[in-house]
Structure 1
Amino acid sequence: MHRWNRSAERRATGRELLASEDGSASIEFLTVGVILLVPLVYLVLALGQIQHAVLGIEGGARHAARAIAQAGSHEHGMAAADRAIRVALADAGLSADAVRVAIACDPAPDACDTPRGTVSVRLDATVPLPLAPPGLHLGAGVGVPVSALASQPVSAFGGSP
Protein backbone atom coordinates (compact mmCIF):
# COMPACT_ATOMS: atom_id res chain seq x y z
CA MET A 1 0.00 0.00 0.00
CA HIS A 2 2.84 2.20 0.59
CA ARG A 3 3.76 2.02 -3.06
CA TRP A 4 0.28 3.01 -4.22
CA ASN A 5 0.40 6.13 -2.10
CA ARG A 6 3.55 7.29 -3.85
CA SER A 7 1.99 7.06 -7.28
CA ALA A 8 -1.07 8.86 -5.97
CA GLU A 9 1.21 11.56 -4.65
CA ARG A 10 3.01 11.76 -7.99
CA ARG A 11 -0.30 12.09 -9.82
CA ALA A 12 -1.38 14.84 -7.49
CA THR A 13 1.80 16.81 -8.06
CA GLY A 14 1.43 16.35 -11.83
CA ARG A 15 -2.08 17.74 -11.70
CA GLU A 16 -0.92 20.59 -9.55
CA LEU A 17 1.80 21.41 -12.05
CA LEU A 18 -0.71 21.49 -14.89
CA ALA A 19 -3.10 23.63 -12.86
CA SER A 20 -0.30 25.95 -11.79
CA GLU A 21 -0.21 29.37 -13.44
CA ASP A 22 3.54 29.80 -13.27
CA GLY A 23 4.79 31.49 -16.45
CA SER A 24 1.35 32.28 -17.86
CA ALA A 25 1.54 35.98 -16.97
CA SER A 26 4.17 36.64 -19.61
CA ILE A 27 2.14 34.85 -22.29
CA GLU A 28 -1.01 36.76 -21.32
CA PHE A 29 0.91 40.05 -21.32
CA LEU A 30 2.35 39.40 -24.78
CA THR A 31 -1.00 38.31 -26.20
CA VAL A 32 -2.99 41.22 -24.80
CA GLY A 33 -0.15 43.62 -25.56
CA VAL A 34 -0.02 42.66 -29.23
CA ILE A 35 -3.81 42.73 -29.53
CA LEU A 36 -3.92 46.26 -28.10
CA LEU A 37 -0.64 47.63 -29.40
CA VAL A 38 -1.02 46.90 -33.12
CA PRO A 39 -4.32 48.79 -33.55
CA LEU A 40 -3.02 51.63 -31.38
CA VAL A 41 0.10 52.06 -33.51
CA TYR A 42 -2.01 51.97 -36.69
CA LEU A 43 -4.36 54.60 -35.23
CA VAL A 44 -1.44 56.90 -34.42
CA LEU A 45 -0.02 56.47 -37.93
CA ALA A 46 -3.39 57.14 -39.58
CA LEU A 47 -4.16 60.21 -37.47
CA GLY A 48 -0.69 61.61 -38.09
CA GLN A 49 -1.03 61.21 -41.84
CA ILE A 50 -4.51 62.76 -41.85
CA GLN A 51 -3.38 65.72 -39.73
CA HIS A 52 -0.36 66.28 -41.99
CA ALA A 53 -2.63 66.40 -45.04
CA VAL A 54 -5.15 68.70 -43.32
CA LEU A 55 -2.42 71.20 -42.49
CA GLY A 56 -1.18 71.10 -46.09
CA ILE A 57 -4.67 71.57 -47.54
CA GLU A 58 -5.42 74.49 -45.20
CA GLY A 59 -2.09 76.15 -45.94
CA GLY A 60 -2.57 75.74 -49.68
CA ALA A 61 -6.04 77.30 -49.60
CA ARG A 62 -4.92 80.19 -47.42
CA HIS A 63 -1.82 81.01 -49.48
CA ALA A 64 -3.69 80.67 -52.77
CA ALA A 65 -6.41 83.09 -51.64
CA ARG A 66 -3.79 85.57 -50.44
CA ALA A 67 -1.81 85.27 -53.70
CA ILE A 68 -4.90 85.97 -55.80
CA ALA A 69 -6.02 88.89 -53.62
CA GLN A 70 -2.60 90.56 -53.74
CA ALA A 71 -1.87 89.97 -57.43
CA GLY A 72 -1.87 92.81 -59.92
CA SER A 73 -4.12 91.01 -62.40
CA HIS A 74 -6.45 88.06 -62.55
CA GLU A 75 -4.03 85.98 -64.65
CA HIS A 76 -1.06 86.66 -62.37
CA GLY A 77 -3.18 85.80 -59.36
CA MET A 78 -4.26 82.46 -60.84
CA ALA A 79 -0.67 81.55 -61.73
CA ALA A 80 0.52 82.49 -58.22
CA ALA A 81 -2.34 80.49 -56.66
CA ASP A 82 -1.46 77.45 -58.76
CA ARG A 83 2.16 77.61 -57.56
CA ALA A 84 1.09 78.08 -53.93
CA ILE A 85 -1.27 75.11 -54.08
CA ARG A 86 1.32 72.85 -55.74
CA VAL A 87 3.98 73.70 -53.14
CA ALA A 88 1.58 73.15 -50.21
CA LEU A 89 0.39 69.82 -51.61
CA ALA A 90 3.93 68.64 -52.28
CA ASP A 91 4.84 69.46 -48.68
CA ALA A 92 1.80 67.51 -47.47
CA GLY A 93 2.69 64.51 -49.65
CA LEU A 94 -0.47 64.75 -51.76
CA SER A 95 -0.72 64.54 -55.51
CA ALA A 96 -1.93 67.71 -57.21
CA ASP A 97 -4.15 65.57 -59.46
CA ALA A 98 -6.03 64.16 -56.45
CA VAL A 99 -7.16 67.57 -55.19
CA ARG A 100 -10.18 69.49 -56.43
CA VAL A 101 -9.73 73.26 -56.47
CA ALA A 102 -12.61 75.75 -56.60
CA ILE A 103 -11.94 79.49 -56.77
CA ALA A 104 -14.75 82.00 -56.37
CA CYS A 105 -14.46 85.75 -56.75
CA ASP A 106 -17.07 88.15 -55.45
CA PRO A 107 -18.62 90.42 -56.85
CA ALA A 108 -17.27 89.59 -60.32
CA PRO A 109 -16.78 85.81 -60.84
CA ASP A 110 -14.33 86.26 -63.73
CA ALA A 111 -12.22 89.07 -62.22
CA CYS A 112 -10.58 88.36 -58.88
CA ASP A 113 -8.76 91.71 -58.85
CA THR A 114 -11.93 93.78 -58.28
CA PRO A 115 -11.29 96.36 -55.50
CA ARG A 116 -13.12 95.54 -52.25
CA GLY A 117 -13.95 92.11 -53.58
CA THR A 118 -13.48 88.79 -51.87
CA VAL A 119 -11.52 85.78 -53.08
CA SER A 120 -12.48 82.33 -51.80
CA VAL A 121 -10.45 79.18 -52.44
CA ARG A 122 -11.72 75.72 -51.58
CA LEU A 123 -9.56 72.59 -51.72
CA ASP A 124 -11.01 69.07 -51.41
CA ALA A 125 -8.94 65.88 -51.24
CA THR A 126 -9.06 62.32 -49.97
CA VAL A 127 -6.19 61.27 -47.72
CA PRO A 128 -5.26 57.62 -48.26
CA LEU A 129 -4.97 55.51 -45.13
CA PRO A 130 -1.51 54.15 -44.35
CA LEU A 131 -0.70 50.57 -45.32
CA ALA A 132 -3.84 50.33 -47.48
CA PRO A 133 -2.86 48.94 -50.87
CA PRO A 134 -4.02 51.21 -53.71
CA GLY A 135 -4.98 48.23 -55.87
CA LEU A 136 -7.90 47.17 -53.70
CA HIS A 137 -10.42 49.05 -55.86
CA LEU A 138 -13.06 48.94 -53.16
CA GLY A 139 -16.36 50.64 -53.97
CA ALA A 140 -16.01 52.81 -50.91
CA GLY A 141 -12.72 54.68 -50.87
CA VAL A 142 -9.95 53.69 -48.51
CA GLY A 143 -9.29 57.21 -47.31
CA VAL A 144 -10.55 60.16 -45.35
CA PRO A 145 -12.01 63.20 -47.15
CA VAL A 146 -10.58 66.55 -46.07
CA SER A 147 -11.37 70.05 -47.25
CA ALA A 148 -10.37 73.62 -46.55
CA LEU A 149 -11.94 76.97 -47.39
CA ALA A 150 -10.06 80.26 -47.22
CA SER A 151 -11.33 83.75 -48.01
CA GLN A 152 -9.26 86.88 -48.50
CA PRO A 153 -10.45 90.43 -49.11
CA VAL A 154 -9.01 92.38 -52.04
CA SER A 155 -7.69 95.81 -51.14
CA ALA A 156 -9.91 98.80 -51.86
CA PHE A 157 -7.09 100.12 -54.03
CA GLY A 158 -6.79 96.93 -56.08
CA GLY A 159 -4.07 94.31 -56.11
CA SER A 160 -0.35 95.03 -55.75
CA PRO A 161 1.51 95.89 -58.94
Structure 2
Amino acid sequence: MHPPSPSTEHDDRGSAALEFILVGLLLLVPILYLVLALGAVQGQSLGAEAGARHIARVVASAQDAPDAAGRAERVLAAVTAEYDLDPDAVSVALTCTPTGAACPEAGAVLTVTLRTTVALPLVPPVLGFDDLARIPIEATAVQKVSRVWGAR
Protein backbone atom coordinates (compact mmCIF):
# COMPACT_ATOMS: atom_id res chain seq x y z
CA MET A 1 0.00 0.00 0.00
CA HIS A 2 1.16 3.46 -0.86
CA PRO A 3 0.65 6.47 1.39
CA PRO A 4 -1.87 9.00 0.06
CA SER A 5 -0.43 11.66 -2.14
CA PRO A 6 -0.19 15.19 -0.67
CA SER A 7 -2.66 16.54 -3.22
CA THR A 8 -5.55 14.29 -2.04
CA GLU A 9 -4.92 14.49 1.72
CA HIS A 10 -7.09 16.92 3.74
CA ASP A 11 -5.25 18.46 6.65
CA ASP A 12 -7.76 19.29 9.42
CA ARG A 13 -5.20 20.08 12.09
CA GLY A 14 -6.05 23.30 13.93
CA SER A 15 -9.57 23.65 12.55
CA ALA A 16 -11.25 22.49 15.79
CA ALA A 17 -9.85 25.46 17.69
CA LEU A 18 -10.96 27.83 14.94
CA GLU A 19 -14.45 26.33 14.89
CA PHE A 20 -14.67 26.54 18.69
CA ILE A 21 -13.72 30.23 18.66
CA LEU A 22 -16.12 31.05 15.82
CA VAL A 23 -19.10 29.20 17.32
CA GLY A 24 -18.23 30.54 20.78
CA LEU A 25 -18.33 34.12 19.52
CA LEU A 26 -21.56 33.54 17.63
CA LEU A 27 -23.20 32.24 20.81
CA LEU A 28 -21.50 34.58 23.28
CA VAL A 29 -22.43 37.90 21.68
CA PRO A 30 -26.23 37.35 21.80
CA ILE A 31 -26.00 35.99 25.35
CA LEU A 32 -24.03 39.04 26.49
CA TYR A 33 -26.56 41.37 24.84
CA LEU A 34 -29.40 39.50 26.52
CA VAL A 35 -27.70 39.90 29.90
CA LEU A 36 -27.23 43.64 29.28
CA ALA A 37 -30.82 44.13 28.15
CA LEU A 38 -32.32 42.13 31.02
CA GLY A 39 -30.11 43.98 33.49
CA ALA A 40 -31.34 47.33 32.19
CA VAL A 41 -34.98 46.24 32.33
CA GLN A 42 -34.57 44.80 35.84
CA GLY A 43 -32.88 47.94 37.14
CA GLN A 44 -35.57 50.21 35.74
CA SER A 45 -38.30 47.89 37.07
CA LEU A 46 -36.84 48.12 40.56
CA GLY A 47 -36.69 51.90 40.23
CA ALA A 48 -40.31 52.14 39.11
CA GLU A 49 -41.46 49.88 41.94
CA ALA A 50 -39.47 51.82 44.54
CA GLY A 51 -40.79 55.11 43.21
CA ALA A 52 -44.42 54.05 43.32
CA ARG A 53 -44.07 52.57 46.81
CA HIS A 54 -42.25 55.55 48.31
CA ILE A 55 -44.52 58.12 46.69
CA ALA A 56 -47.57 56.29 48.06
CA ARG A 57 -46.06 56.29 51.55
CA VAL A 58 -45.07 59.95 51.63
CA VAL A 59 -48.36 61.16 50.16
CA ALA A 60 -50.38 59.10 52.65
CA SER A 61 -48.33 60.41 55.57
CA ALA A 62 -48.32 64.07 54.45
CA GLN A 63 -50.19 66.73 56.40
CA ASP A 64 -52.13 68.23 53.50
CA ALA A 65 -52.29 68.35 49.69
CA PRO A 66 -49.49 70.92 49.14
CA ASP A 67 -47.21 68.99 51.51
CA ALA A 68 -48.09 65.75 49.68
CA ALA A 69 -47.27 67.28 46.28
CA GLY A 70 -43.92 68.60 47.49
CA ARG A 71 -42.96 65.30 49.09
CA ALA A 72 -43.98 63.36 45.99
CA GLU A 73 -41.86 65.59 43.75
CA ARG A 74 -38.81 65.21 46.02
CA VAL A 75 -39.18 61.42 46.18
CA LEU A 76 -39.65 61.19 42.42
CA ALA A 77 -36.52 63.28 41.83
CA ALA A 78 -34.51 61.12 44.25
CA VAL A 79 -35.71 57.83 42.74
CA THR A 80 -35.13 59.11 39.21
CA ALA A 81 -31.54 60.00 40.07
CA GLU A 82 -30.85 56.86 42.10
CA TYR A 83 -32.12 54.37 39.52
CA ASP A 84 -31.07 56.41 36.47
CA LEU A 85 -34.63 56.71 35.15
CA ASP A 86 -35.23 59.05 32.22
CA PRO A 87 -37.09 62.02 33.78
CA ASP A 88 -38.87 62.75 30.49
CA ALA A 89 -40.19 59.17 30.28
CA VAL A 90 -41.53 58.96 33.85
CA SER A 91 -45.17 59.69 34.62
CA VAL A 92 -46.99 59.34 37.94
CA ALA A 93 -50.75 58.95 38.41
CA LEU A 94 -52.59 59.16 41.75
CA THR A 95 -56.09 57.73 42.16
CA CYS A 96 -58.23 57.26 45.23
CA THR A 97 -60.94 54.80 46.13
CA PRO A 98 -63.70 55.74 46.70
CA THR A 99 -63.47 58.37 44.04
CA GLY A 100 -63.97 61.83 45.40
CA ALA A 101 -63.46 65.44 44.54
CA ALA A 102 -59.89 65.53 45.84
CA CYS A 103 -57.18 62.92 45.82
CA PRO A 104 -55.68 62.16 48.28
CA GLU A 105 -58.34 62.57 50.93
CA ALA A 106 -58.84 61.28 54.45
CA GLY A 107 -59.82 57.62 54.69
CA ALA A 108 -59.26 56.87 51.00
CA VAL A 109 -57.18 54.09 49.53
CA LEU A 110 -54.46 55.76 47.49
CA THR A 111 -53.15 54.04 44.37
CA VAL A 112 -49.94 55.35 42.84
CA THR A 113 -49.00 54.20 39.34
CA LEU A 114 -45.56 55.03 37.98
CA ARG A 115 -44.91 54.46 34.27
CA THR A 116 -41.63 54.70 32.41
CA THR A 117 -39.85 53.18 29.42
CA VAL A 118 -36.47 51.50 29.14
CA ALA A 119 -34.27 51.97 26.11
CA LEU A 120 -32.54 48.78 25.04
CA PRO A 121 -28.75 49.09 25.17
CA LEU A 122 -26.62 49.67 22.08
CA VAL A 123 -29.54 50.68 19.84
CA PRO A 124 -28.38 53.53 17.61
CA PRO A 125 -30.45 56.72 17.38
CA VAL A 126 -30.70 56.32 13.62
CA LEU A 127 -34.07 56.45 11.83
CA GLY A 128 -35.88 56.40 15.17
CA PHE A 129 -34.71 52.90 16.13
CA ASP A 130 -34.03 54.07 19.68
CA ASP A 131 -37.70 55.06 20.03
CA LEU A 132 -38.86 51.69 18.70
CA ALA A 133 -36.54 49.73 20.99
CA ARG A 134 -38.12 50.91 24.25
CA ILE A 135 -39.84 48.64 26.74
CA PRO A 136 -42.73 50.06 28.80
CA ILE A 137 -42.61 49.49 32.56
CA GLU A 138 -45.39 50.13 35.06
CA ALA A 139 -45.41 49.80 38.84
CA THR A 140 -48.33 50.28 41.20
CA ALA A 141 -48.44 50.76 44.96
CA VAL A 142 -51.45 51.05 47.26
CA GLN A 143 -51.53 52.86 50.60
CA LYS A 144 -54.35 53.61 53.03
CA VAL A 145 -54.65 57.31 53.86
CA SER A 146 -55.34 58.10 57.51
CA ARG A 147 -58.87 59.17 58.48
CA VAL A 148 -57.40 62.29 60.07
CA TRP A 149 -55.35 63.23 56.97
CA GLY A 150 -55.42 66.97 56.38
CA ALA A 151 -56.93 67.72 59.79
CA ARG A 152 -53.58 68.05 61.58
TM-score (norm 1): 0.84
Which secondary structure does the structure 1 equivalent of 2:94 belong to? strand
Q: In structure 1, what is the equivalent of residue 11 of structure 2?
A: 20
Q: CA deviation at 1:140?
A: 6.4
More deviation, 61-70/101-110: 101-110
Q: CA deviation at 1:75?
A: 1.3
Q: What is the aligned-residue RMSD (CA, Å)?
A: 2.1
Q: Which runs of 5+ in 2 are unaligned?
A: none
**1:127 is the counterpart of 2:118:** yes
Which secondary structure does the structure 2 equivalent of 1:15 belong to? coil
Q: CA deviation at 1:138?
A: 3.7
Of 39, 46, 61, 1:70 maps to: 61
Residue identity in the other structure for 1:37: L
Q: Distance in 2 between matches of 1:99 and 1:105?
A: 20
Q: CA deviation at 1:135?
A: 3.9
Sort the Cα spacing of 1:139 and 1:127 in 2 relative to 1 into closer, same or farther, 3 A.
closer
Q: Which runs of 5+ in 1 are unaligned?
A: 1-7
Residue identity in the other structure for 1:106: T
Q: In structure 2, what is the equivalent of residue 47 of structure 1?
A: 38
Q: Is the Cα–Cα contact under 8 Å of residues 70 and 160 in structure 1 kept in the other structure?
A: no
Q: Distance in 2 between matches of 1:55 and 1:160?
A: 34
Q: Is the Cα–Cα contact under 8 Å of residues 119 and 130 in structure 2 kept in the other structure?
A: no
Of 102, 122, 143, 1:110 maps to: 102
Which secondary structure does the structure 1 equivalent of 2:113 belong to? strand
TM-score (norm 2): 0.88
Number of aligned residues: 150
Q: Write 1 or 2 for the structure with the bigger share of helix.
A: 1
Q: Is the Cα–Cα contact under 8 Å of residues 115 and 155 in structure 1 kept in the other structure?
A: yes
The structure having more radius of gyration, on CA atoms, is: 1
Q: Percent identity?
A: 39
